[in-house]
Amino acid sequence: MTLAVTFIAIESGVAHAQTTAFTYQGKLTDTGIPANGQYDLKLQLFDAATGGTAYVTVMDLQDVVVTNGILTVSLDFGSLPFQDQVDKWLEIAVRPGAGTGAYNTLTPRQQINTAPFAIQANKASEAQTADAMSSVCNQCITDAHIVGLDGNKVFGTVANAANAMNAATAQTSVTAQTATTAINSNNLGGVSAGNYLQVNGNGSQLTNVVGTFKWNVIGGDQQAERNNGYLINSNSLVTINLPTAPQIGDIIRIADADTDPAGWRITINAGQTILRPLSTQSNLPWTPREANRDWASIASSADGTKAVAVAYNGKIYTSTDSGMNWIPRESDRQWRSVASSADGTKLAAAAELGQIYTSVDSGVTWIPRETDRNWFSVASSADGTKLVAVVLFGQIYTSVDSGLTWTPRETNRGWYSVASSADGTKLVAIVGGGQIYTSVDSGVTWTPREANRGWKSVASSADGTTLIAAGENTNVYRSTDSGVSWAGTSTPIKTWNGVALSADGTKMVAVAQNDYIYTSLDSGITWIQQLPVRFWGSVASSADGSILFAGTGGGQIYVNNSRATTEMTGGRGSSVELVYLGDGKFYILNSQGSNTGF
């Protein structure tokens, strides 16, 4: 239990000879809420605010009733503690009345004010009798004689004055024990756990306070601090590096004062990225990665972090950083196709005139499966358990044990490409110069669809409902009923070597031979032509369509990461707001004006 307390001592209201007992009234709060119910109290006097000597008498009050935080008790420590006229402090310990556990000692101790010291009148060594004292000045000074008193004429402790210990306004108080407003206070005593301090103002002079936000006008490069905004006023480019040790929820804002012709640039620290909203991906740059090779196929994990690519007459290459760096695996073979599970752990690769190879450690080691065939394409379910592969001028083969054993399906055809739904139930395969074939029972039976075309590539959404296929001298075709019916999209007629689809089927990408990359964000209704022109051979997409990989014949792998960037720039009058999500990721909440990298 955390308890905070404010106690106010009051004098007895009876106008007769003073006894050693006095009434003590206080306000008791439990975790900031006025207490209600019964509480046990232990009270003891000390001669100092902290430490000091305790007086022997300990008052043990059981089941004191507290209503709306208010309690009133009668205390009697006898006359001995008050005879020396030295300030006293009351220590209070409390526990719930129904409890038998330890007491919670409240801090700070409460100073005992005027009322208890009045018992010295009964013990005054200098006064013979009360009557003798009263005869000296009996009502010689009344309330009417005191019109006002300059505070500068008052010395010592003022026990319970309206503008001191419990002051409503303490202008220049050195110690304001319970001041409502302390304008120039050097020390505020009595603010402990469970109590509160209210500060008025704009907070511009506060530092290192969690959750505060402050704007700074800068004219040069800046290392950003947490929860700060930077208003740029400069004639040259200003670089702002993001905070080195951000906390989740931290905000960074950057705005150009509309007088800076050069603008601003945001840089990051090691392990950090800036994430864009998915709705902003449009014609973003494609970054070349790895070396020039004859890239035949590429696949991605669902989050786009892990990728795997195969080079014809080369090796298998894996990446764990969204395609920034690649590691060669296995041996040089005539690799034709590669597939990945959703988590990027289980992989399958098919070699022309060779075997199928599988990996269960993200491509570090590989095991040959099945026999030598003219394997041309392979696809995987999300969990990597169900695999399907096609043989050019051979059959379709399926596996339900991650490639350990295989079952031949359908008949010999010029199978060119195959794709799978996430659960491995719905499959689609295409024949070069033939039809599209679909299966809804994991490849046991197949149904021919669409017309004979020069099909070269096919892709499936996670649920297998949306499919896209393209080939030589065709449009990109789309089906929204698991391949039962097909219609051409608005793409131009080209020789398409590869297509890919987001998990929900709304984001599409297609690569054309010796041409451009085309992307769609609206299920193929409209397409955006992306640079550059290359001999594109294959393409892959993350589940949300934010990270794309494209391989070229005799060139490099290109990566389009519309989700993350490592740098942002802004022009004159532009602004951006970032929030830290954790794990090194900043997210763009808002962006205005001419920004790049957004």
Instruction: Please give the domain boundaries of the chain with CATH numbers for all domains.
Output: 3-123 (2.60.40.10), 161-200 (no CATH), 217-277+566-596 (2.60.120.640), 293-561 (2.130.10.10)
Rounded Cα distance between 561 and 566, Å, is 10
3-state secondary structure of 117: helix
Residue 449 has pLDDT above 70, yes or no: yes
The C-alpha angle 549, 553, 559, rounded to 5 degrees, equals 20
Residue 146 is predicted with a pLDDT of 60
Place of tokens 């990597």: 384
Residue 364 has pLDDT above 90, yes or no: yes
- Binned at pLDDT 50, 70 and 90, residue 9 comes out as very low
- Binned at pLDDT 50, 70 and 90, residue 65 comes out as confident
Rounded Cα distance between 154 and 295, Å, is 92
**pLDDT above 70: percentage of residues in the chain:** 77
Pure H helices in 261-374:
none
pLDDT digits (tens, 9 = 90+) for 158-200: 555 444 445 555 455 555 555 555 445 455 555 555 555 555 5
pLDDT digits (tens, 9 = 90+) for 311-328: 999 999 999 999 999 999
Averaged pLDDT, 91-100: 81
Averaged pLDDT, 327-331: 97
Query: pTM of the predicted model, to two decimals?
Result: 0.59
Report the candidate in 559, 563, 541 with the shortest Cα–Cα distance to residue 551: 559
- Which one has a higher pLDDT value, 365 or 157? 365
How many helices, marked H, and strands, marked E, lie in the chain?
3, 39
Plot region of 450 (φ>0 → left; ψ -120 to 50 → alpha; else → beta): left
Averaged pLDDT, 216-241: 93
- Which one has a higher pLDDT value, 229 or 67? 229
Residue 5 is predicted with a pLDDT of 47
Buried b vs exposed e over 224-248: b needs ≥16 C-beta within 10 Å?
bbbbbbbebebeeebebebbeebee
Average pLDDT of the chain to the nearest whole number = 83
Residue 46 has pLDDT above 70, yes or no: yes
